[in-house]
Structure 1
Amino acid sequence: MKQDTTASAFNEASLTNVHADLSAMIKRWRRYLETERRMSQHTLIAYGHDLGSFLRFLSIYKGEMITTALLESLQVREFRAFLAARRADGLSAASTARTLSSVRNLYRYLARAESIENDAIDAVQAPKVPHRIPRPLTEEATKSAIETLPELVTDDWVAARNVAVISLLYGCGLRISEALALSGDDRPRGDTMRIIGKRGKERVVPVLPVVQDAIETYTQQCPFALKPDGPLFVGKRGGRLNPRIIQSAMQDVRAALALPETATPHALRHSFATHLLSRGGDLRTIQELLGHSDLKATQVYTEVDSARIRDVYDQAFKRN
């Protein structure tokens, strides 16, 4: 299902007022991203939508069929006009920057694989994206969230499932996509678990006893037979659990505990890293546990910890 959705996003982008030769190149680019770059289905869909917006803009802006020759002839001003149109449509700076990144990726592929080049795209500056640090929950808020989850649903097995998923996000630092991609055969049977992350990168994470217990409770209460090659976490009809269900569960927790809007499933992964760092964990180890390919992505948590210390200091010494 996901692959069909991804393919349709690219097909829609590639078949609208686009010459057949270019359409075929775009499809080859998609296969390259999926098979060689091993991008996630979520990223592929985003790239497809970004490309679709770019091609639709060109079709209207230039008033002609989009060909490889047209892509080669575009000037800086025309790329800037596209970005301005995206901002006018209400896209944030971050989303606009991602759209430009998608278009650049296509041009890099065309230059390398199809001998179609345009240096103008490299001269276009992406909009500045404000530097933001992750917003983790406090240890107290995380504990309260996990304790509150079972109170917000009526089915015991659903409550156990939600607790197991959230425990994996916080206790092991998993992405929600990684947790929900687990199969029945992936469930921990010892104190470690093998995780397949972004672009097929494999890592081994330790599994705390409390997380093992949460998963065991769920598997015992689940009314469906969890097959070794089937999903570990299932919905009420027995199919693979949709991430929206967990996002909705966290939304209910936010309302119940008056937590900020930043208290999302992904914030639990941030909380895992931040709390581990504050307890003396080293960056390299945290990097490996999170599956970050670049240490810079992990170093942001040092900013989180410093900000937390400053807040504590300000609260302790603020003047009346």
Structure 2
Amino acid sequence: MIIVDVVSSPASRTGTLAATASTGHSVGSLVAAWLGSFSESGHTRSAYSRDLGEYLDWCVRRGLDPLSVRLPEVQMYGAELAAATNPRTGKEFAASTRARKMAAVSSWYTFLVRAGATDANPARDAARPRYDRGHSPTTSVTEGQAGAMLASAGGSEHRTLEPSAVALTLALLIDLGIRVSELCAAEVADLGQRDGMRVLTVRMKGGKVRTRPLPAPVASLVDAHLTERDAGRDEPLVTTRVGARISRHQVSRLVQRAAAQAGVEMPQTITPHSMRHTFNTIARQRGAALEDRRDALGHSSAAITQLYDHVALSLTGDPAHLVAAATGRASD
């Protein structure tokens, strides 16, 4: 459970979580109650759980009572985030990531004010990083490269995944455009039939549920993987060689490896989220309407889908191509 992860570890956080608010509730129970308010969005709850845990650890290291801090302390935390590096990448946190971390802290304090556990939200007026919401760092691949990735998947040797799992994973990411979290969470029981078509029930962010059709090639890959495993309905849809649920890390490594095999430049920049951009771009180029793409991707607004469009169109339509052609340096 995510709540257990925040409340019970690491050990250094125990004293802080056991502290009691004026309402008689412990900090740990207030954290759990706050996380429970995100019950409709597992993705948001997971991210905010990690973010608040990092903030509470910071308070422990500074000897601060999180129920008593004021704006200067929260500002100090934000400043340290700006100078910190992501332990997973060794790079500085992106501005959008730092903004989310500060938003998580502010959200928790807003909850505490409403619960009567503190008198004010010290993070409300804290400075947050500015960033261009119209910019996305996500790198996509072309239709031809996506086809090459899918074509090479079935014969790809993988240390922890059978070829059928590799092929199905890439097909679900590219042909359906689902999120990596949705893929990892999918169950065999989510498969079904509707209107004469094979379908997959996808449980999305924000508690949304979409029934997505499985095109014939994808349905065949589903059958091949399940037959190879002799899978029951109560099992994960995609599993490793030992029958464990596929992980986000395994999917990320798989995508980068497939991109390299397909000849994609800088394959290390290709992520599972890149496949969602690829799905949207191919669907748009093939004539799919904006609302249909929005619904398939599970976006909360058409503006988010249009951001995906903007990322792709801003590169192909950049005047640099015209200038290079006019000056005689266009590529053959």
User: Which band: TM-score by shorter chain?
Assistant: 0.7 to 0.9
> For residues 138-217 of structure 1, what are the structure 2 equivalents within 5 Å?
138-153=142-157, 158-189=162-193, 190-217=197-224
Is 1:319 matched up with 2:327?
Answer: yes
* Kept in 1: contact 2:41–2:206 (CA 8 A): yes
In 2: Cα distance, 1:35 partner to 1:254 partner? 39
Structure 2 counterparts to residues 290-309 of structure 1, below 5 A: 290-309=297-316
Across the aligned residues of Structure 1 and Structure 2, the Cα RMSD in angstroms comes to 2.8
Q: 1:53 to 1:277 in 2, by over 3 A?
A: same
Separation of aligned partners in 1, 2:35 and 2:302: 23
The equivalent of 1:8 in structure 2 is: 5
In 1: Cα distance, 2:7 partner to 2:206 partner: 19
Instruction: Report if the CA contact (8 A) 1:80-1:124 is conserved.
Output: yes
How do residues 189-268 of structure 1 correspond to structure 2 at under 5 angstroms? 189=193, 190-220=197-227, 222=228, 224-259=229-264, 260=266, 261-268=268-275
1-side partners of 2:168 and 2:143: how far apart?
A: 18
SS at match of 1:123: coil
Identity %: 22
Instruction: Indicate the SS of the match to 1:7.
Output: helix
Partner deviation per Cα, 1:262-301 (whole Å, 9 max, x = no partner): 3222211111112212223222221111111233222202
Query: Are the aligned partners of 1:173 and 1:290 in contact in 2 as well (CA < 8 Å)?
Result: yes
Cα distance in 1 between the residues matched to 2:126 and 2:47: 21
Letter in 1 for 2:246: L
8 A Cα contact 2:154 2:163, kept in partner = yes
Q: How many residues align?
A: 308
Structure 1 Cα separation of the partners of residues 102 and 66 of structure 2: 19
CA separation of 1:32 and 1:154: change in aligned 2, threshold 3 A: closer
- Asked whether the equivalents of residues 171 and 218 of structure 2 are also in contact (C-alpha less than 8 Å), the reply is yes
Matched residue of 2:201: which SS?
Answer: strand
**What is the aligned partner in structure 1 of residue 105 from structure 2?**
103
Name structure 2 gaps, 5 residues minimum.
86-91
**For 1:167-215, what per-residue CA distance to the aligned partner results, in whole angstroms no more than 9, with x for missing partners?**
1111111111212222112235424332111132111223222211221
Residue number in structure 1 paired with 2:89:
none
The structural deviation recorded for 1:25 is: 4.1
Greater mean alpha carbon deviation, residues 144-153 or residues 100-109? 144-153
User: Quick check: 17-26 or 141-150, which moved more?
Assistant: 17-26
Q: 1:149–1:249: 8 Å Cα contact kept in structure 2? A: no
Cα 1:30/1:299, change in 2 over 3 Å: farther
TM-score normalised by length of structure 1: 0.84
Task: Indicate conservation of the 8 Å contact 1:9/1:45, yes or no.
Answer: no
Indicate how the Cα distance of structure 1 residues 154 and 234 shifts in structure 2: closer, same or farther if over 3 A, else same: closer
Does the C-alpha gap of structure 1 residues 45 and 9 become closer, same or farther in structure 2, counting only changes over 3 Å?
farther
1:242 and 1:129 map into 2 onto residues whose CA distance is 30
How far apart, in 2, do the equivalents of 1:175 and 1:67 lie?
34
Decide whether the 8 Å contact of 2:187 with 2:233 is kept in 1: yes
**Match of 1:56?**
57
Equivalents in 2 of 1:318, 1:225: separation in Å? 60
- Deviation beyond 4 Å, 4+ runs, structure 1: none
Question: 2:45: which partner in 1?
Answer: 44
Higher helix share: 1
**Deviation string for 1:5-26 (max 9, x for gaps)?**
6512333375244552247244
Pair 20,150 (structure 1): closer, same or farther in 2 beyond 3 Å: same
Asked if 1:78 corresponds to 2:76, the answer is no
What residue ranges of structure 1 are gaps of 5+ in the alignment?
none
Report the 3-state secondary structure (helix = DSSP H, G, I; strand = E; otherwise coil) of the residue aligned with 2:166: helix
1:164 deviation in Å?
1.0
Q: Is the 8 A contact 1:274 1:304 kept in 2?
A: no
Q: CA separation of 1:148/1:118 partners in 2, compared to 1, >3 Å: closer, same or farther?
A: same
The letter of the residue matching 1:306 is L
